[in-house]
Amino acid sequence: MDNVACKVVDYTKIIKEDSGMNDRIKKLRRQSIEAVERISVERAKLLTEFYKNCKEKSEPIKKAKAFEYILMNKKIAIYDGELIVGERGEEPKATPTYPEITLHKREDLEALNNRPKVSYKVSDEVFEIYEKEIIPFWEGKTIREMIFKEVPQRWKDAFEAGVFTEFMEQRAPGHTVLDGKIYKKGMLDFIKEIDEQIEKLDLEHDREALDKKEELEAMKIAANAIIKFAERYSKLAKEMAQKEENEERKKELLQIAEICSWVPAHAPRTFHEALQYYWFVHIGVITELNGWDAFSPGKLDKHLYPFYKKDIEEGRLIKDKAKELLECLWVKFHNHPAPPKVGVTAEESSTYTDFAQINIGGIKEDGTDNVNELSYLLLDVIEEMRLVQPNASIHVSKKNPDKFIKRAMEIIKTGFGQPSIFNSDAVVMELLRQGKSIEDARCGGTSGCVESGAFGKENYTLTGYFNIPKILEITLHNGVDPLTGKQIGLKTGNFEDFETFENFMEAFKKQLRYFIDIKIEGNLIIERIYAKHIAAPFLSILIDDCIKKGKDYYNGGARYNSCYIQGVGTGTITDSLAAIKQTVFEEKRFGKREFIEMLDRNFEGYELERQYLLNKTHKYGNDDDYADNLMKEVFEEFFKNIDGRPIYKGGQFRINMLPTTVHVYFGSKIGATPDGRKAFEPISEGISPVQGMDKNGPTAVLKSAAKMDHIKTGGTLLNLKFTPDLLKDEKGIDAVVKLIRTYFKLDSHHVQFNVVSAETLRDAKKHPEKYGDLIVRVAGYSDYFCHLNEKLQDEIIRRTEHETV
C-alpha cells in the first residue's frame, strides 16, 4: 500500500455512505474500493505461451484460439457473497496487459508502478516474467511499433508537437455498445447463425469467401470459448457448494452453478441470468482486446425491464433483490480499471475509469418513452453505490417526464457528478444525419464520455484529440512550432503582413486543413494495420452485421463504421481569435510584432497587456455574438474538413467535441495564447468556456454553447459548475430542470453538473486521506478527486471558485 496516498479509505465515510445497502453489498463494495490497482501478468503470459506454440496461419482463427486459450487457462474464483461472477484478472483490479497491441518495457512498468497518480502496482514477479518471457517475444511485433514504423515523418512531427493524439497506438479501437440481442439469443443461437452463413458462402464466385469462412469459423471458436468459460464457473460453484457449510450460501452457489450452465449458451430466462449473461460477454470483450471505452450494456433499463417484470409477476423476484443483483454488477464494473496507458495516451485519459456508460431513460425503437420502474431503480443503485465505475447517464427526450430529471438531480446535487445528462432527441438526429435508419438511431445512445453511436450495430472509433489552439499558435508563427523552433506547418505568412483579420483567418484555416489532412493520412494507415493484423472474433459475434457479412469488427463487419476526430479547445481558440480581432485589427491597441513578442515572452513584462486581454476582450460563454460567431466559424471549418471523408473500412470520418483530460496535456504543449492564458496552462475543456471566463450565468453559457450545430457532431461535452446552494431547494432543482429542457430544445447534446464547493476541494487537495471517496466530474466522466494530478485538481478548484464569486 505504499505510494498510494489516495487509496487510503476513510472508513467512517464509507460506513456512513453505505447505509442504504445490505451487508453483502457493503462488503463487496468495500473490498472493491480497497483493492489496489495492479498489473496482472496472467493474460500476457498465457498469450505468449499460446503464440509460441501456435502453428495456425489464419489470423482470425489464431486470435479466436488465443482467446479460448486464455479463458480456459486463466485462474478463476468466486468471492464470498458474490452473486454475479467473473473477473478479467486473477482478483479485483488486477489489470492485464495486451502486448500484441502495446508492449510495456521495463521503464514503462516502472512508470506505471511509481507514478503518483493512476498508478498500477507491478510486483517483482511481473517484472521478471516481463523481462524473461514477454518482452523478448513481442518486441518488434506489436501494433504500436508497426504504427510508428508506417506513419510519415510529418505525422510524427505533429504528434510530438501536441497537435493531435492517437488512441489506437496503445489500445485497440473499441467504442461500441451492446444492443438487446443477447437477451434474446444464446451463444448457441449465434453459432447456428454462423453455421448458416458458412453454408451460404459462395466459394466459386465470391473472391472473399475463404476469408469470410475463416472469420466465421473464428467467431464459432470464440462463441464456444465463452460457453466453456462459463461452464468453468458453473463447475467451481458446484464444488464450492459441496464444501459450503452456510446453507444460504450453499443455495446461492448452486444457483450460480445452474445459471452459468445455462447462460451464455442459451438466451436468459430470468433477471439474474440476463445480468450474468451480460457480464460474461463483458469479460469476453475486454479479455479479447483492450478496446477503448471497455464495453457497455447500453440501455440497461430497456433491456432488463421485461425480465424484471416477468420475474416479479411470477413471484421469482422482489424489488430489493433486483437492486442487490444490480449492485453486484456495479461492483463488478468497479473491479475492472482501464488497461494501463503510458506516455501521451496516459495523459490524454488520466484515469482508472474505463468509460462503460450505462444509459437510462430516453426512448425506445418505436420512439416512445423508455422511462420505466427499472430506470428509477437504477438511479437508486447509482445513488447508493457512489462508485466511479460504471459511468451512468440519463437520456432526456421531450417524451420523458420531469420527475425523471428531478430524481437524477437529487443524486447530482450531492456532488457525485453522476449521472450526466444527454438529449436523446438530439442523439437520434445526429445518427439520422449520418445516414442511420430511424430504428437504429433510436436504438442508439451514448458511450464513453459523450459519444453517440448505433448500439449493437456500429464501430464508432475515436481516433484522437485535435488541438485547435495549437494550430493558431503555429499560424501566428508562420508554420513554426515556437516551442521547438521546428517548421512543422505550412508557410502561410508572417503575422505582421496580414492586413485584415479575414486574411489572417484564411491562413489559420489553411493550417487547420493541412494538419487535419496529416491526421487523416495517419488514421488510414493505422486503421489498415488493425484490419490486417488484428481480429476480434468474439466482439464480431455481438455487433451486427459481422456475422452476415462474414467480416471482422475491425475490417468493416459492422453495419455502420465511423471514425471520430475530437476537437479540443473551443473556448481557448474562440477567445484567442476574438482577442486578436479586437485588439490587433480593430482597436489597433497592440502592434502585430509586439503582440507576438508578448506571447513569445509568456507576457513577462506585459502584465498590463495580459490583464487587458483577460478582462477587456470578448469571451465565449457569455452569449456574446462577437465571440460566439468566431466559435461557429472555427467549428464549421473543422467540421467541413473532416465530416464525410472516407475511412479505410468503409464508412466516414466524423467529428465530436470532447476532451477527457487531454486539455491539460494539450495546454502543456502550447505557449502563451492571445486570450491571456499563460504558457503551458490547461486549455479549455469540451465546449465549455475558458475556466472562469463565463460571467453572465448558466443561461448565457448554454446559449453560447448551443450556437454550435451539435447535430453535425457525434457528441459535445459541456460542463456546468454549480455550488450546492444553487440546488438546495425545490426552486433550485426546478430551475435546473428548465435549464436542461431549454438547452435540449436548442438541439444540444449533453450537459453535466459539478456540484461541490471550492473549500471542500482545497481541503481535499491538502488532505487526500480524508477524501478517499470524493468524486468530481472531470470531463465526460467522474473520478476520484485525489487521483487527479495537481494541475487538474487546481483547475477544478478554479472552476468552483469562479462559481461562488
Partner 1 sequence: MKGLIFDIKRYSIHDGPGLRTTVFFKGCPLRCLWCHNPESQKTTQEIMYYEDKCILCFICKHVCKFDAIEIKKNKISIDTKKCTLCGDCTDNCPTTALKLVGKFYDVDELVEEVLKDKSFFEDGGGVTISGGEPLLQYEFLIELLKALKEENVHIALDTTGFTEEEKLIETTKYVDLYLYDIKHMDSEKHKAYTGVENEKILKNLKSLDKHGGKIAIRLPIIPSINDDEENIKRTIEFIKTLRNVVSVDFLPYHSMMVDKYKRLNMPFFVSHIKEPTNEEMEKLKETFEKDGFKVNVGG
The answer to the question of residue 699 lying near partner 1 (CB under 8 A) is yes
In the complex, what is the shortest distance from the CB of residue 712 to partner 1, in angstroms, rounded to a whole number? 20
Q: 3-state class of 543 per DSSP?
A: coil
131 versus 597: smaller Cβ distance to partner 1? 597
User: Is 449 a catalytic site residue?
Assistant: yes
What mask of x and - would describe binding to partner 1 in positions 752 to 781, judged by CB under 8 A? Answer: ------------------------------
What mask of x and - would describe binding to partner 1 in positions 704 to 733, judged by CB under 8 A? Answer: ---------------------------xx-
In the complex, what is the shortest distance from the CB of residue 736 to partner 1, in angstroms, rounded to a whole number? 9
Contacts of 301 (CB under 8 A, 6+ apart): 360, 361, 370, 371, 372, 374, 375, 378
Asked if 717 and 658 touch (Cβ cutoff 8 Å), the reply is yes
The answer to the question of residue 735 lying near partner 1 (CB under 8 A) is yes
In the complex, what is the shortest distance from the CB of residue 731 to partner 1, in angstroms, rounded to a whole number? 6
What is the distance between the terminal CA atoms of the chain, rounded to a whole angstrom?
A: 40
- Cα dihedral 673/678/679/683 (nearest 10): -70
CA distance 365 to 343: 42
* Annotated catalytic residue within 6, 449, 546, 786: 449
Which span sits near partner 1 by CB under 8 A: 283-291, 436-444, 493-501, 699-707?
699-707
Residues of this chain, 544-603, that bind partner 1 according to CB under 8 A: none
Secondary structure (DSSP) of 332-357: HHHT-PPPP--HHHHHHT-SS----E
201 versus 746: smaller Cβ distance to partner 1? 746
What is the size of the binding site for partner 1 (CB under 8 A)?
23
Q: With 0-12 CB in 10 A as exposed, 13-18 as middle and 19+ as buried, what is 489?
A: buried
Rg over alpha carbons for the chain, rounded to the nearest Å, is: 26
CA distances from 222 to 277, 336, 451, 553, 780 (A): 15, 22, 28, 14, 32
CA distance 28 to 740: 35
207 versus 731: smaller Cβ distance to partner 1? 731
Q: 3-state class of 565 per DSSP?
A: strand
Which span sits near partner 1 by CB under 8 A: 228-236, 291-299, 559-567, 737-745?
737-745
Residues of this chain, 617-646, that bind partner 1 according to CB under 8 A: 623
Q: Is 317 left (phi over 0), alpha (psi -120 to 50) or beta?
A: beta
488 versus 739: smaller Cβ distance to partner 1? 739
The answer to the question of residue 746 lying near partner 1 (CB under 8 A) is yes
437 versus 699: smaller Cβ distance to partner 1? 699
**What is the residue whose three cell numbers read 440546488?**
727
The answer to the question of residue 607 lying near partner 1 (CB under 8 A) is yes
**What is the residue whose three cell numbers read 422511462?**
371
In the complex, what is the shortest distance from the CB of residue 558 to partner 1, in angstroms, rounded to a whole number? 38
In the complex, what is the shortest distance from the CB of residue 786 to partner 1, in angstroms, rounded to a whole number? 31
Which span sits near partner 1 by CB under 8 A: 20-28, 281-289, 340-348, 740-748?
740-748
CA distance 631 to 570: 7
Asked if 77 and 116 touch (Cβ cutoff 8 Å), the reply is no
The answer to the question of residue 697 lying near partner 1 (CB under 8 A) is yes
Using CB under 8 A, pick the residue from 264, 571, 621, 698 that binds partner 1: 698
User: Is 260 a catalytic site residue?
Assistant: no
In the complex, what is the shortest distance from the CB of residue 588 to partner 1, in angstroms, rounded to a whole number? 15
- Cα dihedral 725/726/727/730 (nearest 10): 110
1 versus 608: smaller Cβ distance to partner 1? 608
In the complex, what is the shortest distance from the CB of residue 304 to partner 1, in angstroms, rounded to a whole number? 33
CA distance 454 to 443: 6
Using CB under 8 A, pick the residue from 73, 255, 437, 696 that binds partner 1: 696
Cis check for the bond before 419: say yes or no (omega within 30 of 0).
yes
CA distances from 109 to 41, 106, 570 (A): 11, 5, 35
602 versus 742: smaller Cβ distance to partner 1? 742
Using CB under 8 A, pick the residue from 189, 609, 633, 763 that binds partner 1: 609
In the complex, what is the shortest distance from the CB of residue 739 to partner 1, in angstroms, rounded to a whole number? 7
CA distances from 384 to 12, 29, 458 (A): 16, 10, 33
Residues recognised as catalytic: 449, 451
Q: Which residues bind partner 1 (CB under 8 A)?
A: 607-609, 611-612, 615-616, 623, 696-700, 703, 731-732, 735, 738-739, 741-742, 745-746
